[in-house]
């Protein structure tokens, strides 16, 4: 039986959408005849995932003037629509990042010293990110390439830092406008550090936060009394900073705390509870350590996906310095989202704290490998952040009348090998260039002058684009061999006059030079490759790899202790480069 799905609504149903004009300059009229912009598109033959857990196969999606006009499995494409045949492609709701942190620029300076400013220059809640350029074109492109179509941009500096702006990540500056007036108030336990300005400690930052919220409540009462009866009362002192907190102290604005640790989440929860705030938390990724206590606060957590690297344990000396806490953190950090959701904590993902947005999808896949369901992961970047930001009526799902924010992929989301091909923001398409996969991978012998060196091995990690050359790993020493070695040294006294050489190995350069290699590729034969290495005084390595098939830039480090070379590769060109 064929299931027929056909959803359509009049376009005026999207009237619930609200666009802020707080910062946008009104578009001037054109100098000439306005060129018509036809925004009518049809995506045909796609698999649509309108929301996590739902799926419509062999569907058609009609887009008109920035909105989704209809979704169906048996739709006729009206005349005048640009048709895109996208068989074997998947369409997902545009992703939403609820916490992109950026500098407020000149707004911050004005808030610190302008009329009505607070006596402490870390209290700047009057900063409003709608009044500045939030994310430049390059930043928006980097987020779009990961599938993000909307982001909340939060101010970077201060204790009470100001109001965020929920903006669309369109290509043109004119399209990167605020979507809502309900940005969150951003707070943090920022300190001046030793010898800096007050507060110099986290305890001082908490005290200043509590004092400021109490002052804001008092200021609101004082102003209300004066407006109710001015007779015999002096006008309240101008305080733009305290006025900017009225929405938050009244519960109408969400206050999101930047929690640098799992304990900061609990500290923020106590302040939120004390002043009756509507709260949320931008986490550290370590919340799994106190998942039960955090769940009891009832606060949603915006979770970063920057995970610790594997501890260095290549030799006994470095391994001895690795603590049990470090090992446990490394092992369990990727399970943080799953553990929070299992405890009942609302979770949304963010690219914040990542070195670059480009590693976002790889990080999500790590959480899935740690037990998080793919539908849950999708919800963490669509429906949940939309609900947190109060825009669930227009974004976070694909539905008739909603914004045409879409992500088109050539495979199922979060699967290895799946790539984002297109991102639609308010019905405008941006093509995403798929990175050229590195052509080589696997383990190889090291050959010099036609002779294979048995004590060396080489490997290329295709996904990480990393070349490693080092001593071949040997089997671990057996207990019997260890006993024999101990027996050989029994009864031998050390010469107390003998000096122990603790100096570093001589700074020889076994790396620099040009190496002509041949890599044996199954079913293809030998591929001549030229490697060029340059070793600097800090043991950093630069160079290149070239062949008839490709070329790549190399950069890494030579480990003298382990006698290994590990470099990353950046593709310069494809076949024939």
CB 68 within 8 A of CB 398: yes
- Range among 186-200, 322-336, 510-524 rated most confident: 322-336
Any idea what the CATH number is for the domain that residue 49 is in? 2.30.40.10
Same domain, 538 and 427: no
Same domain, 448 and 422: no
In this predicted model, what pLDDT tens digit does every residue of 484-510 receive, in sequence order? 444 444 444 444 444 444 444 456 777
First to last CA, the chain: 52
- Centre a 10 Å sphere on the Cβ of residue 111 and count the other Cβ atoms it contains: 27
pLDDT of residue 110: 93
In the Cβ-directed half-sphere of 438, how many Cα atoms lie within 13 Å? 20
Same domain, 75 and 174: no
Residue 492 lies in a domain: no
- Whether the upstream peptide bond of residue 264 has omega within 30° of 0, thus cis, is no
**Smallest Cα–Cα separation from 510: which of 542, 535, 531, 532?**
535
57: phi then psi, degrees, rounded to nearest 5: -85, 155
CB 447 within 8 A of CB 118: no
SS3 138: helix
Average pLDDT over residues 236-242: 92
Q: pTM of the entire structure?
A: 0.75
474: phi then psi, degrees, rounded to nearest 5: -105, 165
Same domain, 200 and 143: yes
Q: What whole-number percentage of the chain has pLDDT above 90?
A: 59
Residue 31 lies in a domain: no
Residue 496 lies in a domain: no
In this predicted model, what pLDDT tens digit does every residue of 284-314 receive, in sequence order? 999 999 999 999 999 999 999 999 998 888 8
Same domain, 195 and 107: yes
Residue 300 lies in a domain: yes
Helix (H) or strand (E) run with residue 289 in it: none
Q: How many angstroms separate the CA atoms of 340 and 295, rounded?
A: 7
Confidence of residue 77 (pLDDT cuts 50, 70, 90): very high
Same domain, 131 and 272: yes
| Tokens matching residue 564 | 């290994």
In this predicted model, what pLDDT tens digit does every residue of 134-186 receive, in sequence order? 899 999 999 999 999 999 999 999 999 999 999 999 999 888 889 888 899 99
| Tokens matching residue 149 | 């179509």
DSSP string, 215-278: HHHHHHHHHHHHHH--TT-PPPPP-HHHHTTHHHHTTSSEEEEE-SSHHHHHHHHHHHHHTT-E
| Tokens matching residue 555 | 């950069």
Same domain, 181 and 259: yes
Residue 152 lies in a domain: yes
Residue 95 clears pLDDT 60, i.e. is over it: yes
Residue 357 lies in a domain: yes
| Tokens matching residue 339 | 């553990």
C-alpha distance from residue 502 to each of 318, 506, 562 (Å)? 16, 12, 16
Q: Which has the minimum average pLDDT: 156-160, 170-174, 193-197, 214-218? A: 193-197
* Domain, as residue range, for 331: 96-221+238-390
Residue 477 lies in a domain: no
Count up the domains in the chain and report the number. 3
Q: Which of 415, 435, 455 is the last residue of a domain?
A: 435
Residue 316 lies in a domain: yes
**Smallest Cα–Cα separation from 120: which of 36, 209, 51, 182?**
209
CB 415 within 8 A of CB 424: no
Same domain, 202 and 112: yes
Q: How many angstroms separate the CA atoms of 7 and 37, rounded?
A: 25
Same domain, 464 and 353: no
| Tokens matching residue 562 | 């382990």
In this predicted model, what pLDDT tens digit does every residue of 343-401 receive, in sequence order? 999 999 999 999 999 999 999 999 999 999 999 999 999 999 999 999 999 999 999 99
**No. of H helices and E strands in the chain?**
14, 27
Which burial class, exposed, middle or buried, applies to 477 when counting CB atoms under 10 A from its CB (0-12, 13-18, 19+)?
A: exposed
- Centre a 10 Å sphere on the Cβ of residue 262 and count the other Cβ atoms it contains: 20
Residue 15 clears pLDDT 50, i.e. is over it: no
Same domain, 259 and 362: yes
Same domain, 47 and 194: no
Tokens 């578009």 belong to residue:
27
DSSP string, 47-80: EE--STT--EEEEEEEEETTEEEEEESSPPPPTT
Helix (H) or strand (E) run with residue 346 in it: none
Any idea what the CATH number is for the domain that residue 344 is in? 3.20.20.140
Q: How many angstroms separate the CA atoms of 191 and 107, rounded?
A: 20
Same domain, 336 and 316: yes
Q: Which residues contact 527 (CB under 8 A, 6 or more apart)?
A: 440, 518, 519, 520, 521, 547, 548, 549
**What is the pLDDT of the chain when averaged over all its residues?**
84
Q: How many angstroms separate the CA atoms of 303 and 350, rounded?
A: 6
**Smallest Cα–Cα separation from 467: which of 564, 538, 563, 363?**
564
């Amino acid at each position: 039986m064929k299931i027929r799905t056909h959803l359509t609504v009049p376009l005026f149903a999207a009237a619930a959408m609200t666009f802020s004009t707080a910062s946008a300059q009104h578009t001037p009229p054109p100098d000439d005849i306005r060129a018509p912009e036809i925004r009518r598109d049809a995506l045909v033959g796609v698999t649509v995932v309108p929301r996590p857990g739902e799926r419509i196969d062999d569907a058609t999606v009609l887009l008109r003037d920035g909105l989704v006009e209809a979704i169906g499995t048996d739709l006729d494409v009206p005349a005048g629509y640009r048709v895109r045949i996208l068989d074997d492609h998947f369409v997902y709701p545009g992703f939403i990042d609820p916490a992109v942190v950026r500098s407020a620029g000149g707004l911050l300076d004005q808030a610190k010293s302008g009329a009505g400013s607070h006596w402490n220059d870390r209290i700047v809640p009057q900063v409003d990110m709608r009044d500045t350029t939030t994310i430049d074109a390059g930043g928006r492109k980097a987020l779009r390439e990961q599938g993000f179509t909307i982001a909340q941009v939060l101010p970077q500096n201060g204790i009470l830092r100001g109001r965020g702006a929920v903006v669309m990540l369109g290509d043109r500056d004119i399209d990167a406008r605020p979507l809502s007036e309900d940005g969150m108030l951003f707070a943090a336990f920022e300190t001046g550090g030793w010898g800096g300005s007050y507060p110099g400690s986290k305890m001082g930052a908490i005290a200043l936060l509590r004092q400021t919220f109490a002052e804001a409540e008092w200021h609101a009462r004082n102003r209300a009394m004066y407006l109710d009866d001015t007779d015999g009362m002096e006008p309240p002192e101008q305080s733009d900073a305290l006025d900017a907190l009225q929405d938050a102290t009244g519960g109408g604005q969400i206050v999101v705390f930047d929690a640098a640790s799992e304990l900061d989440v609990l500290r923020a929860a106590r302040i939120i509870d004390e002043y009756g705030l509507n709260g949320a938390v931008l986490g550290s990724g370590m919340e799994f350590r106190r998942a039960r206590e955090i769940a009891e606060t009832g606060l949603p957590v915006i979770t970063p996906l920057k995970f610790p690297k594997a501890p260095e344990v290549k030799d006994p000396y470095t391994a001895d310095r690795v603590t049990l806490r470090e090992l446990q953190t490394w092992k369990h950090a990727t399970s943080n989202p799953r553990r929070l959701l299992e405890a009942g904590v609302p979770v949304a993902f963010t690219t914040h704290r990542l070195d670059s947005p480009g590693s976002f999808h790889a990080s999500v896949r790590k959480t899935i490998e740690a037990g998080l369901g793919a539908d849950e992961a999708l919800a963490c970047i669509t429906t949940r952040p939309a609900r947190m930001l109060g825009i669930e009526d227009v974004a976070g799902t694909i539905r008739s009348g909603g914004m045409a924010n879409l992500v088109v992929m050539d495979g199922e989301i979060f699967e290895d090998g799946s790539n984002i091909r297109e991102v639609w923001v308010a019905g405008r398409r941006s093509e995403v260039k798929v990175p050229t996969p590195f052509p080589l991978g696997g383990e190889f012998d090291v050959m010099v002058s036609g002779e294979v060196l048995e004590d060396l091995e080489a490997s290329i990690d295709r996904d990480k684009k990393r070349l490693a050359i080092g001593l071949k790993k040997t089997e671990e020493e057996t207990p019997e061999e260890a006993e024999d070695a101990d027996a050989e040294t029994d009864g031998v006294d050390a010469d107390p006059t003998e000096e122990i050489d603790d100096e570093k190995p001589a700074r020889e350069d076994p790396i620099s030079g040009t190496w002509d290699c041949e890599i044996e590729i199954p079913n293809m034969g030998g591929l001549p490759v030229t490697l060029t290495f340059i070793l600097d005084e800090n043991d950093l390595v630069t160079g290149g790899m070239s062949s008839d098939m490709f070329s790549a830039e190399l950069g890494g480090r030579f480990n003298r202790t382990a006698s290994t070379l590990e470099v990353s590769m950046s593709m310069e060109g494809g076949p024939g480069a």
